[in-house]
Structure 1
Amino acid sequence: MTIKKREFKEKKIQKSFVFTCVLHFLVYSLILLVLYLGISTYIQYRLTTAFPTINDVLVYEDALESDDFSKVSLKLPRVSGFIVFDNDGRTVFSSDRDLSENIHADNVEVISSFAGAYYSVYEKTDINGDPCYYISLTTQDDSTNMLRIIGSCTLDTDLNILSGDLFPERTALSQQEFEMLQGIYSHNMSIEKYEYTNGNKEYRVLVFVAPQMTAQAYDKVMNRTNGLWFMAILVIGLVILLEAFLFTRKIRRSIRPLNQAITGYAQNAVFEVDRQAIPREFQPMADNFSHLLDQLAEVQKEKDEIYRERQRMITDISHDLKTPLTVIQGYAKAFMEDMIPEDKKEKYLTAIYNRSVLATQLIDTLFEYMRMEHPGYRPDLEKMDLSKFITEILAEKYSEIESSHFQMEVDIQASKIPFKGDKKLLRRLMENLLGNALKYNPEGTTIYVRLEVKNTEAILTVADNGAGIPQDIAGQVFAPFITGSTARTSGDGTGLGLAIVRQITELHSGKISLVLPPQKPYATQFVMHFPISGS
């Protein structure tokens, strides 16, 4: 009975943990949803009511037909207003005292209609070169949907009517009427009219005034409404703190055995955890952590192998340097002791020079690789035409290739390929690849170079139909410190030639691969993908 009771408690604890997490998540999500919907709804309301239009009045068609204007006025935002005149010019209703004092029936004529004719005002000069205003009244033909000017007139700068068939009973317009022509009631308010008949077939004209939607006015409204998001962030922060406190208290008790196992691993490198003592939700975590530790052990093993490989490389470099330096030392000593016959001095000097060049090349190759491997290294990028640059390199190398009894086939896109690259590094890349092909293939081999653009990439292919690369080393051909001719690397035995090629490619945000198996007729095929400028 005791054992069963214990198992029941363990299952209950596990279930309680899951239930608590789900409950917290649901409550948290519900709070966020309610907050989001509330803020969004209010912001939407503020935006729609901040800049009302005459359409907001016309939705109350029944109230307009029954002259129940008070109902319409109560529904509209306070920032807008309207005044209604009858056929005799009497004021039927005004939502605001200011409107009844500033808008009269005589003004209706100069106000553009919402669904009918509208005024347009243009600044121009008359035949004498004096500035004036040209006003047109435009409507849309219902049958043809074409705009048609039904009246026009010309005003001078004092708003006197000079000519035209508009406003035949007026000789001039007031400044207020001129602004109304342009749809302006005040500096930040617009005005328009709507003509209709009510349910009793009586003529009505409704003049609507509302704020103009300008960038400044819109920003002002948005600044006010965005303040609500700041309050929402504070509330969300409080909810997050509450959730963090509750989860922390719950999780600490649940993962204590797992934490103890991790601490034990730090002390004795042994990871042991009682699976029955942790909730089932954390059991996969324990398994994954155990697997991760195994992977870390493998990584450490590989790291140690790389270290040993570096040490071997240093030993090889030291050996390779020792040989030419020994020759230089011996010949130099012979010169110092005047043991060199006169007729052999030139030969010995040449040998000393050649050995010094070899030693310098070995050191330069190693230094170049280590320099590019440093995280702080940056290539000297400059704008260039990649097509032209590669062509120039191949032209320089052509005589060397031909004298080595090799052939070369080139397929380079003729059009310009904009590219940002380090010319010195790109030249080294091509020299390494071409040098490998010349060094490790028999005479008569054909070297292929192809450069093309696909989508946003420049694709450079360097291949040959020579001896090929053995399968056993093809997978590690770009790894550093591989020596021996079978690796097809340059660098005079340092094993860094293709490693440097890979580094140069990656420094230009590119990728390089050895195509396996190579496409016919190639035996060896290297393909590099570079992003071109502007992609």
Structure 2
Amino acid sequence: MTSSEQSAKRTASARLRSTLRNATTSLTVRCLLIVLAYILAMAGLLHVTNQLANEELKRTSPYIEMFDDGSTMMQTDDFRQMGSQVSRPSALLVFDGEGKLLFSTSRNVAQKITAKELPLIAGDEDDGSAYVMLDRTDAQGRTVHEINLCKPEPTPDGYAISVKSTCTYLSDGTIVGGDLFGDKARLTEREMSLLQGVYSRRMMIAKHNYKNEKGQRRILVLLSPTESGKDFRAAVDRSNAYRIAAVPIAVALTVLAIAVLARVVRKSTRPLDRAIDARRSGVGNAPDPSSMPVELRHTYEDFLGLMAELDQAQDDKRRMIADISHDLKTPLSVIRGYAQAFEDGHVPQENAEKYLHAIAAKADLACELIDSLQFLAKTDHPSYQATLENRDLCEDLRLMLIDKQPDIEQAGGTLVVELPERPIRARADVELLRRAVSNVIDNAYKHNPRGVTIRVACAPTRDGALVSIADDGQGVPTDIREHAFEPFVTSNTARSAGKGTGLGLAVASTCMQVQGGTISFAERPEAPYSTEVLMTLPPAQKD
């Protein structure tokens, strides 16, 4: 076996083990097994109940109409199945068309009924005819028994009963008329009993002629005990008692299945409950996701992810509070110190203007910080919506850059504008765009040495428009670049005074997001620039 085949075999084996492991931990599989067990239990209960109830009914007198000519057991000569329909003391015998015994549930009865007696047994014949018994009194006052072999014949109006043959005999068996039995002059007591459907004092007898699927004639003879209506009703009551007794068992099985299902579901969610408890109390570790059912594993992993995000949010909140405290305390401390110096009269006259300038600068920095925080809080609210319009970005950027050029030049920088003459239309909130562009430009000249060159360009894209702001300054360190658009991120790890609030790019990122745009650093800025910020905006809507 080659190495690739061995690797494929190991992979298939690993997949099989994974599938089996998932199946054993699957909540769906467990519930299906419980439901299947419940269905099997209910089916078994129903089967047993019907068996017991039918056995009770079988102990009563079976009747010849129980056997349907079209049933599979009779068409295929399934004598064993036919015999299962009766129970002792009843008996079932099956003869062929020649009178040969094919099957019997009672050897004793089979020995007592001969082929010659078959025509005398009450029932139907192979042509559909049947014996009809009548009792009457003749002119001499004697009781006369009349047997008519009748057959239904089709007529234009339906069916009519025609008498094929008849026989009249007295109570002692003497035949006084008719040709049903040919030249026979007398009937024996047994023959008279068979004609009347009586086998013995306690047993009745009947026959039925039919043909199987091969067209072979069969004669079915049924012996059943003579029972009163009271006995039959008692048997029916016993049969119904089994079915009634099955009701509380079925209810108990249903309650048990529901309880087991509830227990399985509760057990399946316990790892999630333990994770919530661990999160709430801060004690213990969250369970491993592999201990969860497959169906809940994704939800559990989402929960763990949410908890991680909440932890990160809490850490960010604590860091933000610490940064805000630090960034507000620094300018306020300067303002307070200089103000206290003025109050105590310790400020030389020649330094007064310098101190006042420092107080104003620190107050501006504190106001800028508060304004940025207020803006972030406002735009983070779910009800905040940007005022989006179809704008000509080139025209808007020209107006913005006219306002920013004096600040850039005062910082010793150079502004390069590369905007096409043709309009570039996009969907934007002009005030949010102005703030984003201003913050990125401010970040470029405030955090670079004097003499920095800042280039602003704009171009259409397939998905809207692209605004590029690049500078040839010292660049953004890689560790800062990854988090530059988060609040309070600066290149000054000591967060000393005069290095900004660390909110400029975070505000710019928020401005772009609420407009449906993006902001990011270009991986490879165009030469000779070291840093390039790319801002995208969605396309303008059709008027």
Give 1 or 2 for the bigger CA radius of gyration: 2
- Give TM-score scaled by structure 1 length: 0.46
Q: Taking CA–CA contacts closer than 8 Å with sequence separation of 6 or more, which of the two structures ends up with the larger relative contact order? A: 2
